Amino acid sequence: MKIGRGRSGRNSFVIRSPLPLALLLFAAPVGLLRAQEEPECVAVDQEAPPPSPPAGSAPEEAPPPPAEPGLGARVATALKDEARRYGRDSVALVKAPLSWKKREWEKAGGAVIILGGLILADQDIDRAAQRQRSSFTNHISSWTAPLGEEYGFAISGGMLGVGLLFHHENLRDTGREAIEAGLLAFLVDQFVLKRAFGRERIADSGGRTVFVPGSSHDSFPSGHTTEAFAVASVIATRSKGWPIPVIAYAAAALVAMDRINTRDHFASDVVAGAFLGTTVGRFLVKRHGDEKAGVLSKADLEIVPIRHGLAARLRM
């Protein structure tokens, strides 16, 4: 990453990336022409009609319309636009706490208190869960755990595909945002929080609570639960009524319980994942709704050519 001053004199961050991104071009508005009526009693000079083509000459043909871009070109353009959107949303997500008001900080403080209490009770909850463990709960876990992995992305992609096929805007946008929420939540969980806390898994710590910040231990937060709640929160937020939100959050809750049942995570791990996934999913839905309403983020991600590729310049 480079931080420098662009041609306009504004501060910018430059991130080198091999991704082939492109800028959108906007068409200029076209003016409307209106003919003026002439008075009936005033003579108007008539323009001479255009000369007729010589006999035997072929009439001029109109130029053919420009060829539409092929499927590959359209897909490439869509991917570039989506990558740029991810970049803008990532910047807005990182900057979000800077604009929090009292209510948001109270929610964050409440989440910290809940997680702190669960960490103190993790060992007792783990022992109670293992007393209730059975072949039935193991069977349920084997079916629902993939909702926090490939099934989550498959459901999101399915909604996107069906929405595109049948021109259903809400279903299309739900799938699109669910994919983005799952991906961004995964990146925050995997490369920020897990590394920052470095909590040992139950099998590694012998059931004890051990945090080694900066290590490769990756128990806190739960990645499966983060993915499940990221997708569920987008579906629930964009759905009308209560049945679909209840089903979505119930499925995500099953994933969280399964991670405790199989001793892959402590209770505080899955609750932290639920908080993270829900926060990212709801944030994206609200942000994109604000963009449609004309409330745009001040941050801008600009893609510029450089000598050996492309660079992403972040203007604040």
DSSP output for 49-96: PPPPPPTTPPPPPPPPPPPPP-HHHHHHHHHHHHHHHHHHHHHHHHHG
pLDDT above 60: residue 40: no
pLDDT of residue 148: 87
pLDDT above 50: residue 37: no
Residue 55: pLDDT band with limits 50, 70, 90: low
Q: How far is CA 223 from CA 12, 13, 226, in A?
A: 33, 30, 5
pLDDT above 70: residue 48: no
pLDDT above 80: residue 241: yes
As a whole number, mean pLDDT of residues 9-36 equals 37
pLDDT tens-digit map of 192-208 = 999 999 999 998 998 89
d(CA 239, CA 175): 12
d(CA 235, CA 178): 7
Residue 27: pLDDT band with limits 50, 70, 90: very low
pLDDT above 60: residue 43: no
Its pTM stands at 0.72
pLDDT tens-digit map of 86-137 = 999 999 999 999 999 999 999 999 999 999 999 999 999 999 999 999 999 9
pLDDT tens-digit map of 142-193 = 888 888 888 888 999 999 999 999 999 999 999 999 999 999 999 999 999 9
Structure tokens at 40: 């009936």
CATH numbers and ranges of domains, the chain:
116-296 (1.20.144.10)
pLDDT of residue 291: 86
d(CA 225, CA 277): 8
The amino acid present at 252, given as its one-letter code, is A
Of 236, 228, 227, the residue nearest 189 (C-alpha) = 227
d(CA 309, CA 305): 6
